[in-house]
């Protein structure tokens, strides 16, 4: 019997662009409400952060390439977070906010879908935290990663 997720992308299972926008907004609101995450999310943030985050996440999970453009790719995302000297706890608080935002955004109550989303964010946070120490340098350019039902997908040329 075929797995229900064999047909289609994580993007489709989440509900497309509107669902990712709800998720990005819910995540942003959760981060603002968190006493430790509040500061980086309330000071000097791009006014279009929520739609940019929604487009980035949508692209990661198999949606259209609406985030990627010259100078605005995964390297750009990493560069924002690199060399900040963040405490390790911030990354895991962010993952917790991300997971709690699933219900706030009314995402489907599908355990495999939610596990796939969480696995990506744990991977992404680990990557960001590895670049967090003062003096670290992010790559100038890097393609937006693609994350499917089985995790990180190989880059396509």
The verdict on residue 117 lying in a domain is: yes
The verdict on residue 1 lying in a domain is: no
The verdict on residue 48 lying in a domain is: yes
Residue 1: predicted pLDDT? 32
- Strand ranges (DSSP E) for 1-148? 147-148
| Tens digits of residue pLDDT in 39-92 | 766 666 778 889 999 999 999 999 999 998 877 777 677 667 676 878 878 899
| Tens digits of residue pLDDT in 110-121 | 999 999 999 999
Q: How far apart are CA 40 and CA 42, in angstroms?
A: 6
Q: How far apart are CA 55 and CA 16, in angstroms?
A: 10
CATH number for the domain including 66?
1.10.490.10
Q: What is the mean pLDDT of the chain?
A: 87
The verdict on residue 2 lying in a domain is: no
The verdict on residue 59 lying in a domain is: yes
pTM score of the predicted model: 0.88
The verdict on residue 155 lying in a domain is: no
Q: Residue 151: which H helix or E strand, with range?
A: strand 151-152
- Looking at residue 64, the DSSP 8-state letter turns out to be -
The verdict on residue 71 lying in a domain is: yes
Q: State the residue range of the domain holding 60.
A: 10-150
The verdict on residue 119 lying in a domain is: yes
Q: Please name which of 17, 19, 37, 36 lies closest in space to residue 28, comparing C-alpha atoms.
A: 37
The structure tokens listed for 26 are: 């819910």
* Count of domains for the chain: 1
């Amino acid at each position: 019997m075929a797995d229900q997720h064999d047909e289609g992308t994580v993007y489709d299972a989440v509900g497309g662009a509107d669902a990712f926008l709800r998720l990005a907004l819910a995540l942003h609101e959760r981060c603002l409400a968190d006493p430790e995450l509040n500061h980086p999310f309330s000071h000097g943030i791009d006014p279009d952060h929520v739609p940019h985050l929604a487009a980035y996440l949508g692209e990661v999970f198999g949606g259209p390439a609406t985030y990627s453009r010259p100078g605005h790719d995964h390297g750009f995302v990493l560069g924002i977070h690199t060399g900040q000297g963040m405490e390790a706890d911030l990354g895991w608080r962010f993952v917790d906010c991300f997971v709690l935002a699933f219900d706030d955004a009314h995402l489907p109550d599908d355990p495999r879908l939610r596990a796939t989303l969480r696995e990506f964010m744990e991977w992404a946070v680990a990557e960001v935290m590895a670049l967090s120490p003062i003096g670290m340098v992010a790559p100038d350019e890097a393609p937006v990663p693609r994350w499917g039902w089985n995790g990180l997908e190989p880059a396509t040329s």
